[in-house]
Structures are given as C-alpha cells and as structure tokens.
Amino acid sequence: MTTIRDFLTDDHRRCDDLLAAAEQALAAGKPADAALALGAFRDAMLAHFAAEEETLFPAFELATGMSGGPTQVMRMEHSQIRMLLDDAVDALQAGNSEDYQGIAETLVIMMQQHNMKEENILYPMCDQHLAADGPALLERISGKIAA
C-alpha cells in the first residue's frame, strides 16, 4: 500500500526533475524550452501545493486538532515558494538569465529544506494520524495533482 509519505515524496522528485529540465535547457542555450519546462514545473508545484493545502492539511488538522503547527509553517513556506516561482518566471520571460539563476538557486535551497520537513516530519505524522482515511485521502490528493 502506498503511503501519503511515499506518494508525495515521489511527487517532490517529479517536480525536482521538471526544474532540472528548465535548468538544462537554459544551460543548452534554449530559452524557449527553458520557459516551457519552467511553466510545467510551476504548474506541478501549484498542483502539489493545492493538494496539500486543500486536502491533506485540513484532514490532518481535523484529525489532530493542530492548526497552528506544522501545517501553518508549510503554508507560509508555500507562499514564499510561490513568490519565488513568479519571480523566476518573470526573470526568464524578461530574458534575464542572471537574475533567473539567482532566483532558481534560492528556490532550490528553499525547496530542499521544505521537502525535508514534509518528508521526514509532516508526512509521517499524516500517515500515522490519517491511516484510516489513507486510501481515500490519497485518491483525492492524486486527483488534485493530476488535474
């Protein structure tokens, strides 16, 4: 049986691969391909955030009574990552690869730290507290990510 942790960790890796594709395209001197890959990455990240914020986090908060703890921190970090995503898209669209590289570097570091917290702390807590709802919850989460 797939756990919440396994499923969402795999989705983190899928998102990482999309960002890497943007980086590789830019390094290869293909800005149009980089913009497409960055757009796919942004869409994937926003879908991942929506699945967490609209489905996983409310279920966790309801099950545990914790609304000011880890989910609040994750929402705040999602907001910061969204701003960086917008800045990265803007820099790439403006043809400013130097600004883009700096933003992308910050984005990667922030995402690595964020993902570690989710994968090692929040997701295991979700698997523990949401075990009874696990399969149905995963179905709703995967539907949001796939949409």
Give pLDDT tens digits for 1-39: 789 999 999 999 999 999 999 999 999 999 999 999 999
Cα atoms in the Cβ-side hemisphere of radius 13 Å centred on 124: 6
What are the residue ranges spanned by the domains of the chain? 4-146
Structure tokens at 22: 């943007």
Which pair of structure tokens corresponds to residue 13? 């890796």
pLDDT-above-70 percentage for the chain? 100
Rounded CA-CA distance 84/32 in Å is 20
Each residue of 38-71: pLDDT tens digit? 999 999 999 999 999 999 999 999 999 998 889 9
Cβ-in-10-Å burial (0-12, 13-18, 19+) of 133 comes to middle
Task: State yes or no: pLDDT of 97 exceeds 90.
Answer: no
In angstroms, the CA 147 to CA 29 distance is 31
Query: Which pLDDT does position 103 carry in this prediction?
Result: 96
Structure-token match 């919850």, residue found: 137
